[in-house]
Amino acid sequence: MFSREESVRPTLYRGLKYWGKKPHNIWRDLIVENTNSGDVVYDPFAGSALTFFESIKAHRKPVICDINPLTLFLVDLYSKEYDLKRVKSLALNIINKIKKMPAYKNAYVTKCANCGKNVDIYNFKHLSGKAEYISYKCPHCHKTITQDNPIVPKFLEIKDLWMPTFDLEKLSSVTPAFIKKIGGKDITNLWTNQNITLLSILFNEILSVDTIEKDALMFSFLQIVHLTTKMCALRGKGANRPLSTSWGRPAYLGLTNFMEQNPIVQFERAIIGNTGVLKCLKSRNEYLPQYNYSSDIKDIENVDGIVILSDCKNISGGFKADFIITDPPYGSVIQYGELSQVWNVWLEKYDEKYKVSLEDEIIVNKNNPYSKYINDMTCVLKNCRNILKKKKTFILTFNSNNNDDWKALSTAIDNSGFEVVEKCLQKNKRSSEANVQLKEGIGISDYYFLLTENLIPNWRVECGTQKVAMIHETL
C-alpha cells in the first residue's frame, strides 16, 4: 500500500453532511486494484455510501450496511430518475406558498435599508440571547446589508402542525448545561420558535408531494435542518461573510452567540445552489451509471448492489465478498448516531423504512464502554472473516488521538483472527474525524491497514494490547 493524492470530490458527494467522508478516488483505486469486474465489495460501516457508489462506478457489486438511515436514503435517492424541471418547479411552488404565509412574512420580511423595498432577512445574529443584527441581500438594489437593532416581531404560533419530538436527555453527549442553554430537553429546542415552525411547515409541504421528486426535495430539506439550528456559530468580523455560517464541530453546541438562518432562503439554496439537489442530481447523472438495488441479500444475483439498514453484527453470511473495505467508528471520536438525530427525527417521519435504532451502534460513550466496543468490533471482524473469500484482501481505515481507541481496535483485530500485514498513512485534503479535534499532525491523515487472516486464530489475544501499542508507535 502507498500514499495517494486525493482529488476534487464530485458534487454528488457534497450534498449531505457526514463527518469523515473518505476520499472517493482513493477508495475507487483500491476497489479496482483488488477486484475484477462483477466482484462483490463489502463495507459494513458505509456512512455516506462511498463504497456503494465507487463500486457501482467501477462495475463491481457493492454490499453495504450502516445503522444510520442516511446511508439507505442516499442510495435510494440516487437510484431514481428525476425530472429536474419538475424538482425545481415543485420547490419554487412550495417556497412561494410559504413566503405568502403570515408566519413567514411576520418573521422574515423587512424593508431594505437602502432602497426601501421588501426583502427577505437571511439571518438574525444572536448575541447573549438577543437578536442584535440582521443581514440580507436585497434582490432589488443588490446590496448586502447588515443592520443592527432589528425589530423582532412576536412570532405567530401555528396550531396542529406536526413537529418532531425527541428527548435529548437520552443522548450521552448532551449535557444539562446544553439543555439549559437551548431552553428545554425536547429536540425542537435546537431551533428558535420561528425556525422550527417554518421547518415543520416546509416538511409538511414536502410530505404532501405525490411524485418521486419528493425524495429530491427531502434531500434539500436534510441539507438545511442543521444549518437552521441555534448551533451555527457566527463567523469572525474579519471573515467578512455576513451571510455564511456552519455547524462545524461534531457536538451538540450550546452557543451564547449564534446565527439564526432563514429556513426558506436556505431551502432555495439547497435546491439551486452550488451543492443543491439539482447540481447533485446532475453530478450523479454524469458520474454514475444507472443502478438498481435491494435491501435483501437474497437478491444479490439480480441487482447491481445491496444496501442494508441494520446492525452489521447481524450480517455473518448469505454472500461471499471478493474484497472488504471499511471505515469503522473510531472509538469515541464522533457520535454519529447521536449527532444524526438532528436529521433522522425528520427522516423517520418521512418514511418509516428509515427507522433509527441507536442502541446497536458500535461506539464508545457514557453508555457504551470500551469492553463493549471491543466485543462488538470483534464480532463484526469475525463476520468479515466468514464473508471474505479465502486469500482475498481486507482494507480497514482508522485514526484517533486517543490511545485507548487504538488499543480497542487492535484487540478486536487480534481476537477476530485477522492480522495487520501492511499499513499506510494517507493524508486527507479535508477533515478526517480526528481532524475535527486536532489542527495538525496525524489528525489530518488516516491510517489504512491491510488485514489478512491470521492462520493461527487467537494466538495473540493475550498480548493484544501490547501489540497495538506497538503498531501505533511504529506508525
Ligand X SMILES: C[S@@+](CC[C@H](N)C(=O)[O-])C[C@H]1O[C@@H](n2cnc3c(N)ncnc32)[C@H](O)[C@@H]1O
Q: Which residues lie below 8 Å from residue 72, measured CB to CB, with a gap of 6+?
A: 66, 295, 307, 309, 353, 354
**Residue 65 near which of ligand X, Zn ion, none (CB within 5-8 Å, type-dependent):** ligand X
Q: In the complex, which residues of this chain contact ligand X (CB under 6 A)?
A: 18, 20-22, 44-45, 47-48, 50, 65-68, 311-313, 327-329, 336, 360-362
Cβ at position 109, least distance to Zn ion in Å? 13
Q: Contact with Zn ion (CB under 5 A): which of 138, 198, 202, 408?
A: 138
- Regarding 144 and contact with Zn ion (CB under 5 A), the answer is no
Using CB under 5 A as the binding criterion, the count of chain residues that bind Zn ion stands at: 6
**Residue 22 near which of ligand X, Zn ion, none (CB within 5-8 Å, type-dependent):** ligand X
Burial label, 240 (beta-carbon count in 10 A; 0-12, 13-18, 19+) = exposed
Measured from the CB atom, the residue of 258 and 330 that comes closer to ligand X is 330
What would the grid cell of residue 379 be?
Answer: 464480532
Stretch that binds Zn ion, among 43-51, 89-97, 105-113, 180-188 (CB under 5 A): 105-113
Cβ at position 51, least distance to ligand X in Å? 8
**Residue 52 near which of Zn ion, ligand X, none (CB within 5-8 Å, type-dependent):** none
Measured from the CB atom, the residue of 50 and 94 that comes closer to ligand X is 50
Query: Cα–Cα distance between 267 and 264 in angstroms, integer?
Result: 5
Cβ at position 268, least distance to Zn ion in Å? 18
Cβ at position 330, least distance to ligand X in Å? 6
**Residue 140 near which of Zn ion, ligand X, none (CB within 5-8 Å, type-dependent):** Zn ion
For helices 84-99 and 263-272, give the axis angle rounded to 10 degrees.
Answer: 170
Burial label, 413 (beta-carbon count in 10 A; 0-12, 13-18, 19+) = buried
**Residue 362 near which of ligand X, Zn ion, none (CB within 5-8 Å, type-dependent):** ligand X
Alpha helices in 58-173 (DSSP H): 69-78, 84-99, 102-108
Cβ at position 412, least distance to ligand X in Å? 13
Burial label, 164 (beta-carbon count in 10 A; 0-12, 13-18, 19+) = buried
**Residue 115 near which of Zn ion, ligand X, none (CB within 5-8 Å, type-dependent):** Zn ion
Cβ at position 362, least distance to ligand X in Å? 4
**Residue 112 near which of Zn ion, ligand X, none (CB within 5-8 Å, type-dependent):** Zn ion
Q: Nearest-CB residue to ligand X?
A: 47
**Residue 78 near which of Zn ion, ligand X, none (CB within 5-8 Å, type-dependent):** none
Residue bearing cell 486536532: 438
Q: Contact with Zn ion (CB under 5 A): which of 140, 180, 241, 389?
A: 140
Q: Contact with Zn ion (CB under 5 A): which of 1, 32, 109, 115?
A: 115
CA distances from 129 to 154, 178, 256 (A): 15, 14, 6
Measured from the CB atom, the residue of 264 and 409 that comes closer to ligand X is 409
- Regarding 114 and contact with Zn ion (CB under 5 A), the answer is yes
Do residues 92 and 69 lie in contact, with contact meaning Cβ atoms separated by under 8 Å? Answer: no
CA distances from 216 to 91, 172, 241, 432 (A): 10, 32, 29, 28
**Residue 138 near which of ligand X, Zn ion, none (CB within 5-8 Å, type-dependent):** Zn ion
Q: In terms of DSSP bridges, do strands 305-309 and 61-66 run parallel, antiparallel, or are they unpaired?
A: parallel
Do residues 213 and 86 lie in contact, with contact meaning Cβ atoms separated by under 8 Å? Answer: yes
Q: What are phi and psi of 196, to 5 degrees?
A: -65, -35
DSSP assignment of 146-201, as one string? EEES---PPPPP-TT------BGGGSTT--HHHHHHHTSSBGGGGS-HHHHHHHHH
Q: What are phi and psi of 422, to 5 degrees?
A: -145, 155
Indicate the residue type of 23. P
Measured from the CB atom, the residue of 268 and 311 that comes closer to ligand X is 311
Q: Please give the residues from 277 up to 306 whose contact with Zn ion meets the rule CB under 5 A.
A: none
Cβ at position 119, least distance to Zn ion in Å? 6
Q: Contact with Zn ion (CB under 5 A): which of 32, 58, 141, 436?
A: 141
The residues that touch Zn ion, with contacts defined as CB under 5 A, are 112, 114-115, 138, 140-141
